[in-house]
Amino acid sequence: MTLHTDTFSTHLGPFSVALSPAGALVATAFGDQSALSERLPRGAVSNVLRYKPGCAEAVRTQVAEYFAGHRREFDLSLAAEGTAFQQKVWRALQAIPFGRTLSYGALAAKLRMPRAARAVGRANATNPLCLIVPCHRVIGADGSLTGFAFGEDLKQRLLEHEGSLAPRAV
């Protein structure tokens, strides 16, 4: 399967996307095409990545609206590959409202698996659709900003943008 890719600028740096031939979002990454390649599902090595500027206009528009403060949820066709458990966790991530955070334990409890915080954390870490499926809204039980593939600084900036954290003093 050929995946079409595009990279565009945000005020937090480049954002790359991979879409299926049908236009569904398969993976996203803060960074360039190499960062995106690392987010693709296992076995995607056999996929052909074709850079196709403009293929992701809907994604580009909605991401720009998000960063402009005009969008709180994304309305895109998603095609992330994962186990049934991962899919369940990723759906739960989408239910965390803009401007709110949950701990890994609280997310596990919402899924009626209160002892599965580590498994939920692992599924969160394997979310291939960063930003679109808001894994950045999950934090440590003590409020720490742990477990974001693109670093705690970027996670903090996303949460500040959403009003979940007070902006840092400069």
The pLDDT, as a whole number, for residue 47 is: 60
What are the structural domain ranges in the chain? 2-67, 84-162
The pLDDT, as a whole number, for residue 42 is: 66
Tokens 């003093």 belong to which residue? 169
Q: Which one, of 55, 54, 53, lies nearest residue 21 by Cα?
A: 55
What band does 44 get if pLDDT is binned at 50, 70 and 90? low
Q: On the CB side of 167, how many CA atoms lie within 13 Å of its CA? A: 3
Residue 168, pLDDT > 70, answer no
Query: Residues 135, 139, 154, 158: which is the catalytic one?
Result: 135
Average pLDDT value over all residues in the chain: 91
What share of the chain in percent tops pLDDT 90?
A: 76
84-162 to CATH, choices 1.10.10.10, 2.40.50.140, 3.90.1150.10, 1.10.1140.10 = 1.10.10.10
pLDDT higher at 85 or 1: 85
Average pLDDT over residues 8-28: 94
Residue 40, pLDDT > 80, answer yes
Fold of the 2-67 domain:
Double Stranded RNA Binding Domain (3.30.160)
Contacts of 47 (CB under 8 A, 6+ apart): 1, 2, 3, 40
pLDDT digits (tens, 9 = 90+) for 74-128: 999 999 999 999 999 999 999 999 999 999 999 999 999 999 999 999 999 999 9
Average pLDDT over residues 28-57: 79
The pLDDT, as a whole number, for residue 166 is: 61
Tell me the CA distances in angstroms from 114 to 93, 106, 111, 117, 145, one per residue in order. 16, 8, 8, 7, 21
Residue 135 · residue 89 · CB < 8 Å: no
Q: Is residue 130 annotated as part of the catalytic site, yes or no?
A: no
